[in-house]
Amino acid sequence: MSDRTHTPPAFPAGAWLDTLLDACLAEDVGTGDVTTDVAVSPDATAVGVIAARTAGVVAGLPLLGPLYARLSADVTVDLVASDGDRLPPGRPAARLHGPAAPILTGERVALNFLQHLSGIATLTSRYVEAVAGTGCRILDTRKTLPGYRALAKYAVRCGGGHNHRLGLYDRILLKDNHWASRDASLADLVARGRRRHPDLAIEVEVDSLDQFADVLPLRVDWILLDNFTPEATREAVRLRAARETGSWRTRLESSGNLDLANVRAYAAAGVDACSVGRLTHSVPALDLGLDIRTTEDR
């Protein structure tokens, strides 16, 4: 039985995923798996069991089917868990049946995907638990491995988190370097953004309460509080409440040096979201393993 607190998201797919899988296999297999060629009979069949060695939230299981299909049409992938499930140590996540050689050849690429994505989902779930009851969402960032962003952001959702912007194209986010390079006042930039991209949210990063007080009257969709203390964050929330009129409410995002020890203090201060770069940029892998046995040993 799974331990899941939310509905798992739809798995991302597209030509980009085909390209990524092809590239990963080409990188690892190259001209051929010479060790398996030496050690394993082409006629040998096997069962491979992928299981958690430490407790965590699994993500990336739907990759196994298209990955192994590239190695052999005769490998059957049975998923015995679902992405977003919390697995205890020893709990199987998937079973592979078929020729032993391709099961072995795909082992490292399969585990690299699963361990990285499950690490993201597991760490995200810990942040979500840390802010439970505050109404604050945990967001990811664009600090992802190039080429892996859609998968990384999917894994965040598997852990109960939410996605910030997917790229440079789906939200206007005016940060400190934009402030330094701007060719007009901030108010003019916000007006320009609304005119050129009326369907996109506008967010402005600030690093002081003085900057916050300047931006708040512009009624942007989001203000990012960069490296604020919890005390300064509470003051920003108070200032926002004092300016709220009608149904309009600028949402506040805390970011910068957030960790499991302090994230609840920021969430409890009243922000709408906390964005956490370490969910994807330096996440530890979840320990999963693939154990192989020949069908004759069953």
Which of 124, 106, 109, 115 lies closest to 60 in space, CA to CA? 115
Residue 16 dihedral angles phi and psi, to the nearest 5°: -60, -35
Distance CA 281, CA 141 (A): 9
Contact 55, 86 (CB under 8 A): yes
Task: List the one residue out of 108, 97, 8 whose CA is nearest residue 45.
Answer: 97
Please tell me the distance from the alpha carbon of residue 275 to that of residue 258, in angstroms, as a whole number.
8
Instruction: Cite the residue boundaries of each domain of the chain with CATH code 3.20.20.70.
Output: 133-281
CA 267 to CA 239: how far, in whole Å? Answer: 16
Residues of the chain with pLDDT under 70: 1-2, 4-5, 295-298
pLDDT score recorded for residue 1: 41
Marked catalytic residue, from 95, 143, 194, 278: 143
As given in the structure block, the two tokens for residue 283 are 């996440």
133-281, CATH topology level: TIM Barrel (3.20.20)
- Residue 24, helix vs strand vs coil: helix
Tokens 């990811």 -> residue: 140
Q: Residues spanned by CATH 3.90.1170.20 within the chain?
A: 15-125+284-297
Let me know if 195 is a catalytic residue: no
- Residue tagged active-site, from 33, 226, 253, 272: 226
Active-site residue, 194 included = no
265 burial via Cβ count (<10 Å: 0-12, 13-18, 19+): middle
Active-site residue, 70 included: no
Catalytic hit among 83, 203, 205, 272? 205
State the Cα–Cα distance between residues 173 and 165, nearest whole angstrom. Answer: 9
Does pTM surpass 0.85?
yes
DSSP 7: P
Based on the residue annotation, tell me whether 149 is a catalytic residue of this protein: no
Q: Is 143 a catalytic residue?
A: yes
171: its two tokens:
């939200």
Query: For residue range 230-253, what is the model confidence (pLDDT) as tens digits?
Result: 999 999 999 999 988 777 899 999
The pairing of beta strand 92-99 with beta strand 76-79:
antiparallel
User: Of residues 4, 91, 95, 108, which has the active-site annotation?
Assistant: 108
* Per annotation, catalytic residue among 175, 194, 251, 278: 175
pLDDT tens-place string over residues 167-199: 999 999 999 888 777 788 999 999 999 999 999
Q: Does domain 15-125+284-297 have CATH number 3.30.56.10?
A: no
